[in-house]
Amino acid sequence: MTEIARNLARALDRIEDFQAVQSGRDAGELREAAELLQEAVGIRDSERVLLRERLERIRGSERAPGHVLLGLIVGLMAAERF
């Protein structure tokens, strides 16, 4: 397995762990958990503003902004290993 594959696997493991502990939570708890996950990779209020602005320019992101954000978080987690 390559270094990139190992780093991606670790990032995806974190996401799976996150989903496991959030099972059965209400919308407010999930929102808070998502913000904490974002903060874990360095996404804070100023970065969220940038994300909102830029997501509007990514075709299809309005239908699945969470999926786009998840992809960014996985990418950031993988990138922090380099």
What does the pLDDT look like over 22-36, one tens digit per residue?
888 888 888 888 888
pLDDT at 79 over 70: yes
Q: How far apart are CA 38 and CA 40, in angstroms?
A: 5
What is the arithmetic mean of pLDDT over 60-66? 81
Angle, alpha carbons 15-21-26 (nearest 5°): 110
Q: Which domain holds residue 65?
A: 3-79
81: confidence class by pLDDT, cuts 50, 70, 90: low
pTM of the model: 0.62
Question: How do residues 3-59 score in pLDDT, each as one tens digit?
Answer: 888 888 887 888 788 888 888 888 888 888 888 878 888 889 999 899 888 888 888
Task: Count how many domains the chain has.
Answer: 1
